Structure 1
Amino acid sequence: MSDISPADPVGEAFEAQRDRLRAVAHRMLGSHADAEDVVQEAWLRLSRHDAATIHNLAGWLTTVVGRISLDVLRSRQTRPEASYDDRMTELVVTADDGPAPEDDVALADSVGLALLVVLESLRPSERLAFVLHDLFAVPFEEIGQILGRSADAAKMLASRARRKVRATGRPAAAGRGRREVVQAFLAAARHGDFEGLLRVLDPEVRLSVDTPGGVVVVLGATKVAAGAIGRVGAGAAARGRGVLVDGLPGFVSWREDGTPLSVMAFTVVEDRIVAIATVIDPARLASMDLPDPE
């Protein structure tokens, strides 16, 4: 990392922006390590630039961080099964005893994991437009410049992303509708019904699997469906039950000896699964407070 001298006015100005820039990059990328790398790259670009020509340093840095983050997101799409160092956020798993009204409220009120996984399911341009505008109040004109599009096009991207995010909080669909979609997914996986899986998976579904070696990401309904048949349909799990994972419909499975095999959380938007967060790391599973098998 490049050193920033405390006596350097440009360095001081950058340091004043560092926390905000890190927050922007983390919301864009979902990875603390990647966010740090992006912020450091922004500093390197600033150090090579004539600061006297920058009239709005905060805006200039936000634009740079946005462009670098967009490049990272697009590169991930070309290597979707790469493993990332960051672990998923801590998950709270509770028993799901059926579609009671209070469960619908719990699902609607829990937005932490829901927001994270929905952001992960957005296209890079949608994610950038939504994060920069709705979370950090960047004008659409500036967002359009980052994307190489018009302000109106950027506004449409943010609106599309906003609809996906808001759909995770509809109480009517939260409990009953989502459970039905998840149950259909699990049944299709157990029976090796590939077409049945494709019917409930969004074409751009994102699967994140927390393994002992890091988080592995798989993109696309075809690959996710094939993997689901291999994992859920293989018969490795002796027992399983429906749960709520941070308020999202989920599923826990156990081996014959009673040790947990996996925890899965599903994000459902408009009757399609757009994201699946799965934990199979034995050490992490052992540290989680899981309900007893049914």
Structure 2
Amino acid sequence: MTGSDAHEAVAQAFEAQRERLVAVAYRMLGSRMDAEDAVQEAWLRLARQEPATIDNLAGWLTTVVGRVCIDVLRSRKARPEAPSDQLPELLVAADAGDTPEDEAVLTDSVGLAMMVVLDTLRPAERLAFVLHDMFAVPFEDIAPIVGRSTDATKMLASRARRKVQDRPRASEEPKRQRAVVDAFIAASREGDFEGLLRVLDPDVTWRAYTGRGVVVRRGATEVATRAQLGAKAQVSTSPVFVNGEPGFVVWNRKGTPLGVMACTVADGRIIEMVSVTDPARLASMDLPRSG
């Protein structure tokens, strides 16, 4: 095989790996754009590498993407951004019935509650967990990427796993989840405090990402009291899926989005809520239009 043929074969092999690499990077970075950039960086490094020096292309690419992602995460930690910028990317699709119009949103995305938890992990913990638990990469292959022994890498993944297992989890079928979210919307519109308490878990958490930072409310009473403030407001809502979870977009009378909310439902009640009202972030999102 000539040199040009070898490079062409490597390019084709890279394209075959691209989708998996983007999936890994997205779970690491929480941003589709950043994930694409990480994979592009891997391609640039591959283009400078002699094909004959790579024994296992898939493993080599995973290593490079993993290290690029760790560098990005460490860079974020070194220069903290505004709290409103720490929210993972939201993938929003219209809810036309049982499933999103764009099936890829459910297939490619990770539940928002999961992404929020992943974002709290240390870079090495996150990589060990993502590669091993989500992509079945052996610890022996992950260890060199994070610069730890195999046993130490197992401990990283174990710590991450414990944090992830504590996250809120949906336990209802999609139709039931939507019915609970619709009941929340209706009670909010009517200022029905008791109705809100019926659909909110007593320990519900609401993380609101605003233009000024993150506001966290805990407990059904506090959340219901805040939700009541929207009673009789001249707004409309559109049902959507947010990273695969039921939610809604709030619009004003001019058709401008005022907010996006995602809800995690378990045992007939909302246990976790994440909302975005930051105008700059809303303006950058591709939201289904209000009906």
Q: 1:208 to 1:140 in 2, by over 3 A?
A: farther
- After TM superposition, list the pairs within 5 Å mapping 1:1-294 onto structure 2: 8-81=8-81, 83=85, 87-90=89-92, 112-166=111-165, 167-169=167-169, 179-182=201-204, 224=214, 238-239=229-230, 262-263=259-260, 277-281=275-279
Q: 1:263 to 1:34 in 2, by over 3 A?
A: closer
Deviation for aligned residue 1:149: 0.9
Counterpart residue type for residue 119 of structure 2 = E
Tell me the secondary structure at the aligned position of residue 11 of structure 1.
helix
Contact 2:17 2:58 (C-alpha < 8 Å) held by counterparts: yes
Counterpart residue type for residue 79 of structure 1 = R
Counterpart residue type for residue 122 of structure 1 = L
Deviation for aligned residue 1:6: 10
Contact 1:279 1:285 (C-alpha < 8 Å) held by counterparts: no
Counterpart residue type for residue 37 of structure 1 = D
Contact 2:251 2:290 (C-alpha < 8 Å) held by counterparts: no
TM-score (norm: length of structure 1): 0.57
State the alpha-carbon separation in 2 of the partners of residues 275 and 71 from structure 1: 30
Q: 1:51 to 1:182 in 2, by over 3 A?
A: same
State the alpha-carbon separation in 1 of the partners of residues 119 and 39 from structure 2: 20
Counterpart residue type for residue 52 of structure 2 = A
Deviation for aligned residue 1:54: 1.4
Contact 1:239 1:254 (C-alpha < 8 Å) held by counterparts: no
Q: 1:287 to 1:59 in 2, by over 3 A?
A: closer
TM-score (norm: length of structure 2): 0.57
Deviation for aligned residue 1:13: 2.0
Gaps (5+ residues) in structure 2? Answer: 96-109, 172-179, 181-197, 232-239, 265-270
Give the superposed CA RMSD: 4.9
Tell me the secondary structure at the aligned position of residue 121 of structure 1.
coil
Aligned residues: 228
The superposition leaves residues 138-191 of structure 1 with CA deviations (integer Å, 9 ceiling, x where unpaired) of 1112211111111112112212222222242386xxx99x844447x7xxxxxx
Q: 1:151 to 1:30 in 2, by over 3 A?
A: same
State the alpha-carbon separation in 1 of the partners of residues 122 and 258 from structure 2: 31
State the alpha-carbon separation in 2 of the partners of residues 239 and 135 from structure 1: 39
Residue in structure 2 matched with residue 107 of structure 1 by the alignment: none
Q: 1:38 to 1:10 in 2, by over 3 A?
A: same
Contact 1:127 1:161 (C-alpha < 8 Å) held by counterparts: yes
Deviation for aligned residue 1:17: 1.4
State the alpha-carbon separation in 1 of the partners of residues 18 and 71 from structure 2: 20
Gaps (5+ residues) in structure 1? Answer: 94-110, 186-200, 202-206, 212-217, 268-272
Identity of aligned residues (%): 54
